[in-house]
Structures are given as structure tokens and as C-alpha cells.
Amino acid sequence: MNAANPAIIKAFEILNIDLECHEAFLAQQGLFVDGESVNTSELNSEILIDEISEKGDYILVVEGAIANGPEGSGRYCMAGGCTCKEMFKKAAQNANLIIAVGTCAAYGGINSASSDIVDLLDFRGVAFTKKDPSKGMLKVLGIDKPVINIPGCPAHPDWIIFTLSALISGNIKVPEDLPEVLDEFGRPKVFYPPNYTVHKDCPRYVFFKKGEFDSHLGGDKCLLKLGCRAPSAHADCTLRKWNDGHSYCVQAGSPCIACIEPDFPDNARPLYSISIKKKEED
């Protein structure tokens, strides 16, 4: 929704995209309307998903990690009376291609971060959990589909729209072209270059070369000692920038947290470490 050039509706028109189902855009739908049960896909999104899945021939775009817990039931994430795991299974089984948008959908993201309850919740990415392709939700469900990961917390609108454009125009043929255009973690190499990091074209790079580092937020020098993970973040944020090309995290004064990497957020924690000094009393 943050796409700017082109805006999202214009992009849909240009690419002739038929958005058949999106829960946030189907807010008027429900199992009941005016107290009466609804049994048509026009007003019942559960039936709509069933009909789309049966018809097949579509691209499935997934947002968010998918709960497998507790104990493989998936009931830690529900939509109405259906688990998101079951909803994903229905939608994935007849898709031509799956695009996992955002780090949570791609690798589990924040939902899969190390914690005392991570194993109980058992959130999975579509084809990976962190760096492990054997723990993706597709593997759990026994479904074999081509997957393109577009990580980021959030993902850049250009990464999403340009990937869809390349697929719809035929510039990327599925599945034969995917081994060439994707990296080892399923990311398009054009947006997540294996030999390029956010660090390389950083506007603060000159201070890094001179060994001048900020010790607190709000300064103008290199943010490396404040936890900046730009040297290990493979993305084109520095060149593409955000909010219609105006700025990006490091330019705005925030250390890069490498949110596009498979092991985010564990690779970047703590994101901020703040020391609070008590005022000396007279």
C-alpha cells in the first residue's frame, strides 16, 4: 500500500492483476450477514478461498509467519474457526507460484526469534524457518511449490511490484529461471545482491573509513558501534531508498538491523541498548 511509483492501484491496472482474495480488502465479508448465514463466495471469504483453490492457476502472496503449534495443530493463529495453517494449505496446494512477502513469511521473522516459547508456538516461514529449508511450512504440509522470498520488515514496495511485473511479463519464467535469479535463501538477487551490502554506499561510509563512530543516537558519524548491521545486510536500500526515494534507515539516523536476513531478529538483538543514568541528588 506504500507503493509510490507506480501507486498500487495504478500498478494493478498496468499489470492487469486480478486480486481475487485479500482478507483486509474483504472486510464486508462474513459467515453471517444480517443474522443469516451466507453460503456464497460473494459474501463468504472461506467459500471464496475454496473456489479459488479448486480453480487453480494463480499466484499466492503470503504475509506473516504460519503457526504450527501447539503440537502441529496450528491453533496458535486462527482466522474465524480455521487455522491459518489450514488456510495456507488450501491456498498453496493449487498455486502456480508462492511469493512470501516480509521476513516473517519468508523465514519466520520475529515470530521465530529465540525465546522460551518459540518451540511451543512453532511459527514457520513458507519455505524456510530462519536459514533451514527443511523446516518451512510447505515441507511440513508435504507441498512442493516454487517460492520467491521478498523479505524485509517491511518489504520495500518496489521489491514486491517489480517481482510481480517480471513474472507477469514473462521476464522470469517459473520454475526454470528461478535457480538463476534467486539466491540461496530464495531472494531475487537483483534486490538482494549476494556481493553487495547496505554498508557499501552508506552516506556515513566516509566516517567508517576514518574510524569516527557515534556513541549515541542523533549524531552524523558511523553507527557501527551502535549496533549497525549494514555490513551483513544484503539489500539495495542505500540505492533504492524508501518513502518514494526520500531516505532510508541509516540516512535517517537509525542503525541498520539487517531485517532482510534469514536469521532476523536474532542476528541484530538487542536492536537498541539504552543506558539510563540516575540524576545525582544534591
Residues 6+ apart with CB under 8 A from 134: none
| Residue 61 confidence (pLDDT) | 97
> Which is more confident, 27 or 177?
177
| Residue 269 confidence (pLDDT) | 87
pLDDT digits (tens, 9 = 90+) for 5-33: 899 899 999 999 999 988 777 765 566 66
Q: What CATH homologous superfamily does 57-192 map to?
A: NADH:ubiquinone oxidoreductase-like, 20kDa subunit (3.40.50.700)
pLDDT digits (tens, 9 = 90+) for 146-173: 999 999 999 999 999 999 999 999 999 9
Distance separating alpha carbons of residues 248 and 254, to the nearest angstrom: 9
Q: Tell me how many degrees the CA angle 123-226-114 measures, rounded to the nearest 5.
A: 20
Give the whole-number percent of the chain exceeding pLDDT 90. Answer: 78
Whether 229 and 223 have beta carbons less than 8 Å apart is answered as no
Instruction: State yes or no: pLDDT of 114 exceeds 90.
Output: yes
Give exposure, 239-249, as e/b (b: 16+ Cβ within 10 Å). Answer: eebbeeeeebb
Which single residue is written with the C-alpha cell 516459547?
Answer: 117
Instruction: State yes or no: pLDDT of 85 exceeds 90.
Output: yes
| Residue 275 confidence (pLDDT) | 58
**What is the rounded average pLDDT of the residues 230-239?**
96
| Residue 30 confidence (pLDDT) | 60
Identical fold between 57-192 and 195-272: no
**What is the rounded average pLDDT of the residues 184-202?**
97
- CATH class for the region spanning 195-272: few secondary structures
pLDDT digits (tens, 9 = 90+) for 251-276: 999 999 999 999 999 998 887 665 56
| Residue 271 confidence (pLDDT) | 77
| Residue 102 confidence (pLDDT) | 98
Indicate the pairing of strand 147-150 with strand 97-101: parallel
Which single residue is written with the C-alpha cell 524457518?
Answer: 129
pTM, 2 dp: 0.91
| Residue 5 confidence (pLDDT) | 85
Instruction: State yes or no: pLDDT of 277 exceeds 70.
Output: no
Distance separating alpha carbons of residues 189 and 137, to the nearest angstrom: 23
| Residue 276 confidence (pLDDT) | 60
Which of 109, 110, 111 lies closest to 122 in space, CA to CA?
111
| Residue 31 confidence (pLDDT) | 63
Kindly list the domain boundaries of the chain, sorted by start residue. Answer: 57-192, 195-272
